[in-house]
Amino acid sequence: MTATDRHTTIAALRSNYDGFLLDAYGVLLDKHRAMPGAIALIDGLTRDDYPWLVVTNSASRLPETLSTEFADLGLRVPPERILTSGALLADRQLTGDLSGMTAVVLGPAESVTYAARAGVTVLPLSDDVDADALIVADQKAVRWPEHMNQALSMMIRRLDADRPLRLMLCNPDLIYPVSSGRFGFTAGGLATMLEAVLHERWPHAGLHFQRLGKPNPAIFEAATRRLGVRRPIMIGDQLGTDIAGAAAAAIDSALVGTGLAPAAAAAIGGITPTWMLPKLL
């Protein structure tokens, strides 16, 4: 099947799938506006009571905050229609019961709120902090290198003493585009640095961060459970997160033509979407 043969429309997808999982940035909006067709798409799905959910790797902003930001651009997306990687900290099927656990959280204030909503007691970073878990949520508000050094030191102290330490990563993305030709590290990049120490210092221990967000299947499985559907489709703009993650979760996908991955790159690295969606509507 050629790329042209895989071209589809929203109407065709609605006929063949029982729910939509929608990426936010690159599909519904960018930093400044709603994407063409996004407002009509959301309004139509809501009006027809068609199951849909926004699935995003955000762990720095709560669903309530995101909902307000979307509304400012004309997108009516209530908080209960948003599943973030940060919210998965409270999903006991994925992380277990974190109630009563102490943790250090790398990320801004709303990242701390995610952990608190999961029942975690968050301890402030300090040179001698000791906690049951290290949660890498987001790069925002992380002071370099002070906070990373403090988190690293706590990690080594506990593991050298053969004490348990939960390691959780909300957003596995390694980098993000800042502007044309400029990039920055994300939470996934910070966690990868810490994992490099783990693998060098304890090479046979199998220590690693539990990854919650895209492209790991966990967030797709949680989204499917929340929607209560059997055959959803992921509509995204990034091959490495949206499309690859859906494939890992055995979910079909559609790559939009308005996001980060151009149609010509739709099979790079062996990652191929089920469908190509040139436009939303």
DSSP string spanning the chain? Answer: --TTTTB--HHHHHHH-SEEEE-SBTTTB-SSSBPTTHHHHHHHHHHTT--EEEEE---SS-HHHHHHHHHHTT----GGGEEETGGGGG-HHHH---TT-EEEEES-HHHHHHHHHTT-EEPPP-TT---SEEEE--STTPPTTHHHHHHHHHHHHHHHTT---EEEES----EEEEETTEEEE-HHHHHHHHHHHHHHHSTTS---PEE-STTSHHHHHHHHHHHT-SSEEEEES-IIIIIHHHHHTT-EEEEETTSSS-GGGTTGGG---SEEES---
At residue 27, the pLDDT reads 94
At residue 3, the pLDDT reads 54
Residue 109 CB partners (closer than 8 Å, separation 6+): 141
At residue 169, the pLDDT reads 98
The string of pLDDT tens digits covering residues 52-95 is: 999 999 999 999 999 999 999 999 999 999 999 999 999 999 99
Pairing state between β 175-179 and 182-185: antiparallel
The string of pLDDT tens digits covering residues 116-129 is: 999 999 999 999 99
- At the topology level of CATH, where does 96-211 sit? Rossmann fold (3.40.50)
CB 217 within 8 A of CB 204: no
At residue 263, the pLDDT reads 47
Q: To the nearest whole percent, how much of the chain has pLDDT over 70? A: 93
On the question of pLDDT at 269 being above 70, the answer is no
Rounded to the nearest integer, the mean pLDDT of the chain is 93
**Sorting pLDDT into bands at 50, 70 and 90, what band is 266?**
low
Give domain 10-85+214-277's CATH superfamily: HAD superfamily/HAD-like (3.40.50.1000)
Per-domain boundaries in the chain: 10-85+214-277, 96-211
Compute the distance between CA of residue 16 and CA of residue 266 in angstroms, rounded to an integer.
Answer: 22
On the question of pLDDT at 265 being above 80, the answer is no
Global pTM value: 0.92
The string of pLDDT tens digits covering residues 180-196 is: 788 888 999 999 999 99
On the question of pLDDT at 261 being above 70, the answer is no
On the question of pLDDT at 155 being above 90, the answer is yes
On the question of pLDDT at 216 being above 70, the answer is yes
- Low-confidence winner among 69-83, 145-159, 246-260 (lowest mean pLDDT): 246-260
On the question of pLDDT at 2 being above 70, the answer is no
